[in-house]
Structure 1
Amino acid sequence: MSGLTAAQLARRAGTSGPRLSTYASGAVTPSAALLRRLEKVAGSAPSAPGERTPDGTRS
């Protein structure tokens, strides 16, 4: 869990709150690129070796 509100998650991933809601409801399918950004922002994306993790450490 990232501790972000839906609005914060949307903004940090480069989309809007209402648009994020359409993805969450299943009305629209997000692109693979947006899914990767959402995962990265939320802290659930796997890190590449040497990439900084959400807590600032390196993987």
Structure 2
Amino acid sequence: MCLDSGAFFLVQGEKQRTLEHVASILPGHKGVKLIDTFGNTENVTGTIEEIDLLNRRIVMVA
């Protein structure tokens, strides 16, 4: 079996966004911190419900 090396997606309810330029995902107290390849950070609130490597998605709930 071969996994596609495309971008992952962050899914929150009906919203879905690409994590194409995200280099790191760090756990936090109320969610995760996304750090892109340029060093920019963004905090995303919620809890990780599922990490689906086959379908390249990370599902978070509020």
TM-score normalised over the length of structure 2: 0.27
* Pair member with larger Rg: 1
- Give the TM-score of the pair, scaled to structure 1: 0.28
